[in-house]
């Protein structure tokens, strides 16, 4: 099974901050990785797929990158609506795994 490890588990930040979340895969997954945002009591929302492609309608302050088995979600300038939990998901050949999530909270 491919495991995904996100860091940090919790991140305290202020509006306007640049925020970076990391997701590390236990083996090579090419760029088959997505990022989701989830707010309490709500379904996840797809932000980025194929490691760096922005889903339609998602603000451009969100970006994704990949280097080997390490993937990064960056929020260039944190906005009030961005306080949420972010999860990565790998989707190699007919397998799917989610990371444990990173909560972005108010500092």
Partner 1 sequence: QITLKESGPTLVKPTQTLTLTCAFSGFSLTTPAVGVAWIRQPPGKALECLALIYWNDDKRYSPSLKSRLTITKDISKNQVVLTMTNMDPVDTATYYCAHRRVDSGDAYNSFDYWGQGTLVTVSS
Contact segment (CB under 8 A) with partner 1 among 8-16, 20-28, 73-81, 95-103 equals 95-103
- Concatenating the DSSP letter of every residue in 1-70 gives ---EEEE-SEEEE-TT--EEEEEEESS--TT-EEEEEE-TTS--EEEEETTTEEPTT--TTEEEEEETTE
Binders of partner 1 among residues 22 to 51 (CB under 8 A) are 32, 34, 36, 42-46, 49-50
Q: Is 83 in the site for partner 1 (CB under 8 A)?
A: no
Residue 61: CB atoms within 10 A of its CB come to: 14
Whichever of 34 and 104 has its CB closer to partner 1, that residue is 34
Residues that bind partner 1 (CB under 8 A): 1, 32, 34, 36, 42-46, 49-50, 55, 87, 89, 91-94, 96-101
């Amino acid at each position: 099974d491919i495991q995904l490890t996100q860091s940090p588990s919790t991140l305290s930040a202020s509006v306007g901050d640049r925020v970076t979340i990391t997701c590390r895969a236990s083996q090579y997954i090419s760029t088959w990785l997505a990022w989701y945002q989830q707010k309490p009591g709500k379904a996840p929302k797809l932000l980025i797929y194929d490691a760096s492609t922005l889903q339609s309608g998602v603000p451009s302050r969100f970006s994704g990158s990949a280097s080997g088995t390490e993937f990064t979600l960056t929020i260039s300038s944190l906005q009030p609506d961005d306080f949420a939990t972010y999860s990565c998901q790998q989707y190699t050949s007919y397998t799917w795994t989610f990371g444990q999530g990173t909560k972005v909270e108010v500092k």
